[in-house]
Structure 1
Amino acid sequence: MSTTADAIRSADAHSAHNYHPLPLVVASAEGAWMTDVEGRRYLDMLAGYSALNFGHGNRRLLDAARAQLERVTLTSRAFHHDRFADFCSELAALCGKEMVLPMNTGAEAVETAVKTARKWGYEVKGVPDGHAKIVVAADNFHGRTTTVVSFSTDHDARDHFGPYTPGFEIVPYGDLTALAHAVTENTVAVLLEPIQGEAGVLVPPAGYLSGVRELTRERNVLFMADEIQSGLGRTGRTFACEHEGVVPDVYILGKALGGGVVPVSAVVADRDVLGVFRPGQHGSTFGGNPLACAVGLEVIAMLRTGEFQGRATELGEHLHRELNLLIGGGAVTAVRGRGLWAGVDIDPSRGTGREISEKLMELGVLVKDTHGSTIRIAPPLVISKEDLDWGLDQLRSVLGA
């Protein structure tokens, strides 16, 4: 068995350095806990950026995957398979929509949504061909494809990857007035995260999402909600938009839809939106494959019980109550988020977000930093209150609070 140092050295030598992982090497995981190659256990307080909402090695999801592995895993969309229709109909029903376009990764789903909005704009709204505009928010994170980084304001994600894709207007997040000014007769969609995850778990001002919904409806513009991180139980509701009673025209889903087992993503909308596609105009060899559909169907069934939304609500209230007690003590300057999802701004005098993350790792707790002084906390929704409290105790210890 390789030691941690050996494994990290090999990874550094043979893989592109597009990530800066914490210095541990995971060998196994179950529930909210992970074990490294040397047998040390860690409490996972990141959950794969919400891809592991249902925990590591969830029995229901593994059983669904195993059963499908014995039958058929891939057909491509050249043929029908017996899990596809059920997956699409059940996911559409969960979203209160009519149609589903399955893909694999979140970035693919965002690209699919962009193509959908443009095609809808030309064929339904009547925007002149080649003139479609999509309004997005500053500090967004929707993936790292060339089109998506074209409207990123993160220099690390964007710089030196041009020439960039035109057709996007960037406005401040949470500013309805700026959004209203940016929407023109050629605007086909507004693309937003209901809560900005990578930016530090930024929750928009109360009334913002409902205001976006009203504005887009008045201007005949699609409201596309990127719920890849915020959706599927993370905030205490199935979708973060529900906190303001908002139903967007388009849901963009990923991460937890695959249960931490396989990559599954989807764009979900009504027929008057997704119905613009014809055969050959968009696709994916693996999108909507039998294995993905089997796992996705089990995820949908688990969400229908309301158990995970309830856990995120109850434990989330506890999490935020405890984190907010740290504000004003010289260690934490701000806490944001909803449900089992929090962005914690660390006072620079206590260290950078990376330094705090590394100190927590040494104590057996895994979180991840973003934007210098912020750490993100997003444990699997299956975490116990006792484990959550233990993790918070380690944070207090590191901060000297």
Structure 2
Amino acid sequence: MKEKLNKRIIFLITSLYITYFISIGFFIEAFIAILRKNGASLEFISLVYMIGLFGVFKLLWAPIIDRFNFGQFGHYKIWIIISQFLMTIVLFFISTLNISTNLNIIVILVFIFTFCSSFLNVSLDAFVYKISFQKDYSTISAIKGASGLIGMVLGGGLGLIIYNKIDWQYTILFLGIITSLSLLLIFFYKEPLKNDYLKKMIDYKQFFTFWNTKRKMVWLLLLLVYSSTISATFGILTPILVDLNWSLDDIGVIVYMIGYSFGIVSSFGASYLIQKFGKKTILISASFGQIIVILLLLILFSHNNIFIVIFIVSLIFIIQIPAFVLINTLIMDLSSNDSPAFQIAMQSGIFVLSTIIFSSLAIFIAGKYGYDNAIYLFAILGIFSVYLSTKIDYVLDNKK
């Protein structure tokens, strides 16, 4: 049963996505800076980025989430509650450990945490799809994008500042408390009992049948390639600033506070831009923009005063966010009522896989051959994503 996108639903969706992204933002963004500041090699950091692979493997348990519900207590709602509870427990365990002496245990627990968070990601996306009308998909995607950035600001930016000012244990404890509070947001929401999405069996054949047309294969290539340039940009941005002797405080403020703030504003405007100029125009424009911003990183090696850094970081987010909002909208457009958790998880998982691979690859190449060569390589890859973006109308014809 769909629901009108009213203030109550907007607040619920926004709050759930923010609390989800806070902890994820800390481990993907701030944790990387903390490791680098403590002397971790770029090659080691590239391996740590692999925690995001659970965002890919989530498609393996998405059919289970589609298949099993909890009757009158809810379907996706209960999966959300279970996931958040487990995430909170893991965070409280991590908060008892010292990062200097228990790093190996912490890394293992971070992997467990991201595993639990992948269940939350799948169930939350399916929950939102279940209660939303198709005409609201771009707005929902914009809300998700803005909420994600707010969560990243709090987790990646504020979390980094708290760590630098206080210590590791209190930072993780803060994340645990925030995550536990989010349980209250969903607990009192009554999920519609009518479920058009309940599967009678766990079906993994969809992974192959979903891509059984030429149009869907073009879409698959676009999902794999589109993030190459911007993922590389994000991957090497923080290490570049650290290597240029920027303090963690400054990185936290400029990248995760100012940069993400511009991203939040851009996200709110993304839905309007998509509706006014069309999906194809925004997709192509953002592809060109991604090539420009990664090349702008070269300026930092000769001119890295605060104003130039703020300008480049802000431009990265302004160009990047509408593209990701649109990708999420397209994923929802190309999903069906038959198995929303799996189809959304599969498409977004492939997209996440590409971001992880390109982020890790960019850092690895930068460590081996230098930042400049990595930048040139991924700028060239960006040209291919521009070409594939021109095919989006052909892809969407398959939905008609």
Q: TM-score band, normalised by the shorter chain?
A: under 0.3
Structure (1 or 2) with the greater helix fraction: 2
Q: State the structure with more CA Rg.
A: 1
TM-score by length of 1: 0.27
Asked which structure has the greater RCO (Cα within 8 Å, sep 6+), the reply is 2
